[in-house]
Every structure is written in C-alpha cells, then in structure tokens.
Amino acid sequence: MTDEEARDQLFRDVSRETQERLTLYHAALVKWQKAINLVAPATLAHAWHRHFLDSSQVFDAARVSSGRWVDIGSGGGFPGLVCALIAVEKAPDLSFSFVESDIRKCSFLREVARQCDVPIHVFSRRIEDVPPQDAAVLSARALAPLDQLLGFADRHLAMDGVCVFQKGTSHLEELESARADWQMEVEIIPSVTAADAAILRIGHIAHA
C-alpha cells in the first residue's frame, strides 16, 4: 500500500472536517520532525500508512464511545492523538489525556490540538507519577513489554475499562509471558497495516 492509498483509505471513513484536522496534524509532524525526533526518520515519508492509518485502527478496536481515553508514552501522538481527532466526529463524549515525559513532545501535542481545535489534557510526567486515571480506554504503541503495560493498566484503568495495545510480531510470546503474572480477557485483532502485528484488546485485568 502506498502512502497516498493509506491516506485515501483513512479519509474514506471520516468527514471532511476530520480530514482537515488529520491533514493539519500531518503537516505539523513534518515541520516539527526537523527539530524533534517524533517518529523514526525513515517512516516520515510513509507517515499516512505507518502512523495515521495504523493509529486509526486503534479507535475502531476500542469500541468505546464515552469516558476518559488515556494514551501513555504518547510521543508524537500515535495512536492517541489520531483517535482524539476521529472522536470529535464519531465519539464526542470521549475525553483524551496524554502522558509523555518529554516536554518538547508535550508542546507538540498541545500545538496540534490547538491547531485542530480539539481539547486534550497532557501530563508532562512519567507514567508512574500520574495519579490514577480511572480510564475507560488505555492505549499505547511501542512503549514497553506487555507485562509492564499491564502494571500501568492496573493503576490507571477503570474496572470496566479496556486496553488497546499495539504489538508487533512477538505479541503472542509477550502474551504468554504476561499470563504468568496476570489474568485478563484478551481479543487479538490483526493489524491492517503490518503483517504479523496485532492490537491486543484487553479487559478484566487482575494479578494471577
């Protein structure tokens, strides 16, 4: 899939207003990447495929329309900020918070949200230092091994909340390892952008 095809696939399912917000986000990413390493440099030319379409599938996987969505280790905003822009149209009762310890990346998240006129809250802190969030959705991409992510979820996820964690080719091994310490309900959703990758939709988390 070319980057243009990925953009077109994403745009087919959203309104013109959402398309405009995503386009502003893409332009800001290209501009800020020159000064801040927001994404791997080799992926910038394929950002619609590698980052925007890849993140939009997380919104679909969550299947939650209200409450607090908390994106941890947000970096350049993937997947959480893409989901926030889509939610303006498709789930306006969701509110979005971002946890990112890099102050420059926090400034980027706030600037994109300002340009797109989307309210968000950004914690410029380590995940361990953020008060429990009672999140309806907890999302993360390329942040930490699954067992560590479940530790964050144990602190920040609401009792009936869900995690949507993007994982690569080792997701089955990570899942098997995490089950030594955690009980959970898991749905494995194949990625639409990367072979052998998946979104792990996880709920009812408890220590084993």
Annotated binding-site positions for S-adenosyl-L-methionine:
73, 78, 127-128, 141
Q: What is the dihedral of CA 68, 28, 111, 96, to 10 degrees?
A: 0
Residue type (1 letter), 174:
E
End-to-end CA distance of the chain: 41
CB atoms inside a 10 Å sphere around CB 42: 8
Considering only CA atoms, which of 163, 110, 109 is closest in space to residue 140? 163
DSSP letter for 16, please: H
Tokens (6 digits) for 125: 């802190």
Helix 80-90 vs helix 16-33: crossing angle, to nearest 10: 160
